[in-house]
Amino acid sequence: MATNHAAPKRVVIGMSGGVDSSVAALLLQQQGYEVIGIFMKNWDDTDENGVCTATEDYDDVIKVCNQIGIPYYAVNFEKQYWDKVFTYFLEEYKAGRTPNPDVMCNKEIKFKAFLQHAISLGADYVATGHYARVQHNEDGSLMLRGLDANKDQTYFLNQLSQDQLKNVLFPIGEMEKSEVRKIAEEAGLATATKKDSTGICFIGERNFKEFLSQYLPAQPGNMETMDGEVKGKHDGLMYYTLGQRHGLGIGGDGEPWFVLGKDLARNVLLVGQGFHHDALYSTSLKAIKMNYITTTPLANTFSCTAKFRYRQVDEPVTVEIMEDGTAHITFAEPVRAITPGQAVVLYDGDQCLGGGTIDEVFKNGERLTYVG
């Protein structure tokens, strides 16, 4: 029978086996799209018994897809993930920095390898269960924070280009997490009460130290104060991050001890007392790998807000875009524990302007070499 209806648009959605992407798939299907669920296998975590824990997540993808009546497939990006994300992750740790593999995973895997896969499947749109919003306009796409301020994931999406964003849908970006759970429960989805995943995906629930030690040799060394007083031993600089309190094992009187920096050349971990230790504060930073998600060019210098870590409150900043593509970002007030390797992400109200990687940190114009 002939109909006048156009064929439904095809959406390929990345499904992790979690509640967010499950509900995203359900919503798309209810909106009348032709939905195809794809599970990405990015990490070979087969244990000594030949069991890969991705199996459980894929089982959940299967259950949910069968419940909502959409086809499902899996795709293997282990090689791409290893080459583009994990190698970078190790290199950064080797260089004494604290990398953000989720930012890289979005840039290289979910919105590159996966996007290409989706295109090869004839997708009109690609969707994920991120808490973010995207506005497709005539002159390009804008990215907005997810409405759930607690869950907003634009921080991890700051490296996406116009090309990567142009066919993207974020079906749950307009929702609170509690609404997402409620929809899942009402629909009886298998993942409705599944616990949210935590930590870095390839490490999962495992001990971070133990995991990292399988790939990078740990070199124990001294913990010293900024004045050179030895306070104890560290297990390897890569296990510590700026501003960290736990795991130092320095006792004694007075305020608790915190990581202030790393002296890579001497393999020394710099420590000091007090959450608000002066050495933890800086006033500006240099960011590299800057990416801007705007449809009109930004001024060379502009004011906006910035996040230096996921789930921090925004800080007011002034951004100066340099000739060489880097950016110099000056804070309105000194900020604690700015960490090289992490992302700096810029916002104008709800709009995510893009971001880059924190490369150098300054206090009143002077570079703080001890932070990495």
Partner 1 sequence: MIYLDYAATTPMHPQVIRDMTAAMAVYGNPSSIHQAGRAARKLVDDARRTLAQTIGAKENEIIFTSGGTEADNTAIFGVAYANQHKGKHIITSQIEHHAVLHACEQLEREGFSITYLPVDSTGCVRVQDVKEALHDDTILVTIMLGNNEVGTIQPIAEISELLQMHQAVMHTDAVQAYGMISIDVNDLQVDYLSVSSHKINGPKGIGFLYQRTNAPLQPLLYGGQQERKRRATTENVPAIVGFATASTLTSDRDVYERYKQQMQKTWQDAQLSFTINGAHTLPHILNVSFTGVNIEALLVNLDMAGICASSGSACTAGAVDPSHVLVAMYGADSDKLHNSVRFSFGYGLTAAQVQEAAVTIANVVQRLVNL
> Which positions touch partner 1 (CB under 8 A)?
36, 39, 41, 51-52, 54-55, 57-58, 61-62, 71-76, 78, 117, 119-122
Q: At closest approach, how far in Å is the CB of 176 from partner 1? A: 31
Residue with Cβ nearer partner 1 (41 or 177): 41
Residue with Cβ nearer partner 1 (15 or 132): 15
In the set 52, 201, 304, 352, the catalytic residue is 201
Q: At closest approach, how far in Å is the CB of 1 from partner 1? A: 19
In the set 52, 65, 105, 352, the catalytic residue is 105
152 is in an annotated binding site: no
- Cα–Cα dist 234/100, whole Å: 23
Residue with Cβ nearer partner 1 (16 or 339): 16
1 is in an annotated binding site: no
Phi, psi of 164 (to 5 degrees): -70, -30
Contact 212, 199 (CB under 8 A): no
At residue 276's C-alpha, the angle toward residues 270 and 277, to 5°, is 35
Residue with Cβ nearer partner 1 (50 or 228): 50
Contact 324, 256 (CB under 8 A): no
16 is in an annotated binding site: yes
18 is in an annotated binding site: yes
In Å, how far are 26, 153, 196 from 192, measured between CA atoms?
Answer: 12, 20, 10
Q: At closest approach, how far in Å is the CB of 101 from partner 1? A: 20
- Cα–Cα dist 318/303, whole Å: 4
What does DSSP say about strands 140-145 and 132-137: parallel, antiparallel, or unpaired?
antiparallel
61 is in an annotated binding site: no
129 is in an annotated binding site: yes
Ranges assigned E (strand) in 82-167:
125-127, 132-137, 140-145
Quick check: helix, strand or coil at residue 181? helix
Q: At closest approach, how far in Å is the CB of 116 from partner 1? A: 8
- Cα–Cα dist 178/354, whole Å: 27
161 is in an annotated binding site: no
Contact 285, 344 (CB under 8 A): yes
Q: At closest approach, how far in Å is the CB of 50 from partner 1? A: 8
Give Dmax over CA atoms of the chain in angstroms. 84
52 catalytic residue (yes or no) = no
352 catalytic residue (yes or no) = no
Cross-sheet strand order for the sheet of 34-41:
72-76, 34-41, 10-14, 125-127, 168-169
Residue with Cβ nearer partner 1 (78 or 315): 78
- Catalytic residue IDs: 105, 201
Annotated binding site for ATP: 14-21, 40, 129
